[in-house]
Amino acid sequence: MKLSQFYTKTRRSMAAQDSINAYLLEKAGFISQVAAGVYAYLPMAVRSMQKIEQIVREEMNELGGSEVVFSALQPKKTWEQSGRWEDKNFRQIVYLDTDVDMTFGATHEEPMTIAVKQGVQSYRDLPVILYQFQTKFRKELRAKSGLLRGREFRMKDLYSFHSDEKSHQQFYEEAAEAYLTTFERLGLEAYRVKASGGIFGAEHSDEFQVLCETGEDEILVDHQTKTGFNTEIENQLKVVDVKKLDRVKAIEVGNIFHLGTKYAEAFDLKYLDASGTRQSVWMGSYGIGISRLLGTLAELFNDENGLKLPRQVAPFAVVIIDLTNGKTGRKVHDLLEKAGIEVLLDDRDEPPGTKLVDADLIGYPIRLVHSAKTAQDGKIELKERASGKMTLVNLEDVVKHVSRLLSLKAKV
Amino acid sequence: MKLSQFYTKTRRSMAAQDSINAYLLEKAGFISQVAAGVYAYLPMAVRSMQKIEQIVREEMNELGGSEVVFSALQPKKTWEQSGRWEDKNFRQIVYLDTDVDMTFGATHEEPMTIAVKQGVQSYRDLPVILYQFQTKFRKELRAKSGLLRGREFRMKDLYSFHSDEKSHQQFYEEAAEAYLTTFERLGLEAYRVKASGGIFGAEHSDEFQVLCETGEDEILVDHQTKTGFNTEIENQLKVVDVKKLDRVKAIEVGNIFHLGTKYAEAFDLKYLDASGTRQSVWMGSYGIGISRLLGTLAELFNDENGLKLPRQVAPFAVVIIDLTNGKTGRKVHDLLEKAGIEVLLDDRDEPPGTKLVDADLIGYPIRLVHSAKTAQDGKIELKERASGKMTLVNLEDVVKHVSRLLSLKAKV
């Protein structure tokens, strides 16, 4: 890809933002603020988000999920039927509670239960595992921290339907494992943290938290086992030795909930078991914040020069800057692209300084600079963004060298 | 893929629907109605929609577009600034006009103009071509016709920014060509039809219409040149010989608008030309209804047994039904999957009749049936859904035969 054919603009100067991720992502041209807690995703961010979604999609498929896309609009009456419409906590966060018979739901237990009811008659129709990527809306009073807490955000939510508590519990643990794998593939080390059921009507839940000094959650963790507790349930912690736990700040990137038979009862989602008896379906719900993940990655992977997103989520793997007549840069670009490497050639009519500063700000994992000096020896300068390590590579070896570096770094 | 690992349920009986597409797509398990004009997309539909989107994405990239995702929520004040908030036609179709300072916009001229303003200073920064896939919302009073006119729908919208009228006009024509290519790749023959500017503040526009007896638009067309006029502008038709045109029903699948400098003026989107003079940017907007395309394809490609979606948008290319012990079916499935063919093995514990009826209803382009009878000669029965043509194929030739058929059919 040539930068002249790809719309992206970094910003030289920018007012202070409410968070590192908002500041860096906006300065690097990934996002543009539309209103408090509402962002437009520009081409660089779309590429990163698509990569995050694809990793999550692969793991949810591996878990046995089938992808769906439910509507954002939901009939108000279904929320009345589940009893959540009267829930003060929920009423505050949904849109459209006045003159229309619909609501924008921040979660999809109701319509999923209703849709699955159409397809499930007997135990042979279970389990059902559905997931979706969707834009969600919350009347968020505390919109802040850039992509970490917005009024409009991208989510992956998955809903599981099992015939009994035992098979549900087993799947719940498989989902927890899949979550840890997902976050690891994204370059994040997540802790599994016990928490309350919250507004999902769940008895209890598990959160997946990534340690971060600027995170808004406070958790107690055991670094050895990578587990812990959200301090919101501290009064339940009498059984464990709190002194052994470390109190840290963190960002919640995912959560999973036991829903029991609550929604099955509310919507009469029953099945006939092997003996012909009607039984309620056991459900769970499982969320991952996709746009929040991009915010978390930006919050964690950066330095004073800009972003350092992990290779598997960076918009492009390689940037090429040719400080000579451009011929070598174009040649290397074509070779890398032919080898299937996501490369961007900075062919803008801009001064060298601007291109070098932008490369660090956007944080391409590998930067190749061709100059009169490197040309003398038939070489190109290769800089790794994460470590800052510089190497001079023979021009004829550049594809081999870049491929090797990228496959070494690839956790995917 | 094995059907036991992919959630889909057809429906044996179903109440009459307001349209063929809603009836067939719901019966075949592609969609599930949530409310009037609001549908959930189930796994089969998600696969088709992703294929439609990918074809559109490739054509928009080819046209020079960069993919973005803007927010559905938009500040009310920006709509006041463009003058559209006072437009009675618009006020009726947007959500959230009461107690919040935001609106769900059914179109994105305002935020796109504002975002591009941040990146454009001089003529060297132009043109800018941005597009997105997005869920849009309209307070649709006439929600009807299944996926053809909904209150929530999926759109591709593209916005172009050029330095002058001439370069804008040239791009507008390129976009029109790209649209015709896109619809052709999807298996649709679209007519380019002149229409009024509508609520987009455009001077005039072009619609892309697919002939369909159940369509809600009435157009006058010349079948030779595949062009025509929307009857809404009939009074402007004095210059052409209306008698030569054919009056037909059609479905609008895309539209393109000249916006002139209207939005650039409203939001002061100016650039410095080569002589250092400030000039207004020329804009166009270009829409394609993604979910409407799925509805249109279902409306056009069907028979009394079910859907016959073109191969390039069908959820799977091949279904396998093994009426014997299942061993051969599994083997053929593995061979086809290894060859990169999207195949679904119907391994459900259901009677043969159910599987055969479902295969026609869902409309897999190729159906392979293995029975005791075909097994005698080492063959498998191959049926093409579109033509109904049946062939007996040697088991050892099945991959070769299916691959050849699919590549012959592939318009993509």
Describe the crossing of helices B327-338 and B398-409 by its angle, rounded to 10 degrees. 50
Alpha helices in A31-71 (DSSP H): 43-62
Q: Do A34 and B7 touch (CB under 8 A)?
A: no
- Residue B21 has a pLDDT of 97
Q: Which residues of A touch B115 (CB under 8 A)?
A: 32, 40, 42
B-contacting residues of A 337-376, CB under 8 Å? 349
* Tens-place pLDDT, residues A180-224: 999 999 999 999 999 876 555 556 799 999 999 999 899 999 999
Q: How far apart are alpha carbons B248 and B190 in whole angstroms?
A: 13
Minimal Cα–Cα distance from A266 to chain B, Å? Answer: 17
Query: Is B66 within 8 Å of A72 when comparing Cβ atoms?
Result: no
In this prediction, residue A128 carries a pLDDT of 98
Beta carbons of B75 and A32 less than 8 Å apart: no
Measure CB to CB from residue B74 to each of A32, A34, A64 and give the nearest one: A34
pLDDT value of position A95 = 75
3-state SS, chain B, equals CEHHHCCCCCCCCCCCCCCHHHHHHHHCCCEEEEECCEEEECHHHHHHHHHHHHHHHHHHHHCCCEECECCCEEEHHHHHHHCCCCCHHHHCCCECCCCCCEEECCCCHHHHHHHHHHHCCEHHHCCEEEEEEEEEECCCCCCECHHHECCEEEEEEEEEEECCHHHHHHHHHHHHHHHHHHHHHCCCCEEEEEEECHHHCCCEEEEEEEECCCCCEEEEEECCCCEEEEHHHHHHHHHCCHHHCEEEEEEEEEEEEEEECHHHHHCCCEEECCCCCEEECEEEEEEEEHHHHHHHHHHHCEECCEECCCCCCCCCCEEEEECCCCHHHHHHHHHHHHCCCCEEECCCCCCHHHHHHHHHHHCCCEEEEECHHHHHCCEEEEEECCCCCEEEEEHHHHHHHHHHHHHHHCCC
At which residue do the structure tokens 């050895």 appear? A224
Mutation choice for A interface testing from B6, B34, B76 by most A CBs within 10 A: B34
The proportion of chain A whose per-residue pLDDT surpasses 90, expressed as a percent, equals 78
Q: With 60 as the cut, is the pLDDT of residue A411 above it?
A: no
Question: For the ranges A296-300, B27-31, B73-77, B295-299, which has the lowest average pLDDT?
Answer: B73-77
- Chain A environment of B35 (Cβ under 8 Å): 71, 73-75, 101-102
> What does the pLDDT read at residue A199?
53
Q: Inform me whether the pLDDT recorded for A14 exceeds 90.
A: no
Distance from CA of B196 to the nearest CA of A (A): 30
Residue B90 has pLDDT above 80, yes or no: no
Dig out the tokens for A246 from the structure: 């470390």
Whether pLDDT at B10 is above 90: yes
B32 touches chain A (CB under 8 A): yes
- pLDDT value of residue A96: 67
Q: Does A13 touch chain B (CB under 8 A)?
A: no
In the predicted structure, residue B39 carries a pLDDT above the cut 70: yes
* Residues of A whose CB is below 8 A from B45: 69
Contact at CB, B71 and A8, closer than 8 angstroms? no
Q: Which of residues 69-108 of A touch B (CB under 8 A)?
A: 69-75, 95-96, 98-102
Q: B9, A43: Cβ pair inside 8 Å?
A: no
Does the beta carbon of B272 lie under 8 angstroms from any beta carbon of chain A?
no
pLDDT value, residue B241: 67
Query: For the purposes of burial, counting CB atoms within 10 Å of the CB of A396, is it exposed (0-12), middle (13-18) or buried (19 or more)?
Result: exposed
This prediction's pTM: 0.95
Which of A221-230, A358-367, B287-296 shows the lowest per-residue confidence on average (mean pLDDT)? A221-230
pLDDT at residue A412 is higher than 50: no
Structure tokens given for A148: 């970490």
pLDDT band at A392 (very low <50, low <70, confident <90, very high): very high
Q: With a cut of 60, say whether residue B98 has pLDDT above it.
A: no
- pLDDT value at residue A144: 80
Chain B nearest CA to A35, separation (Å)? 7
Going by pLDDT thresholds of 50, 70 and 90, the confidence category of residue B411 is very low
pLDDT of residue A84: 85
User: What pLDDT does B243 receive?
Assistant: 73
- How far does the CA of residue B50 sit from the closest CA of chain A (Å)? 11
Q: What is the pLDDT of residues A29-55, one digit of tens each?
A: 999 999 989 999 999 999 999 999 999
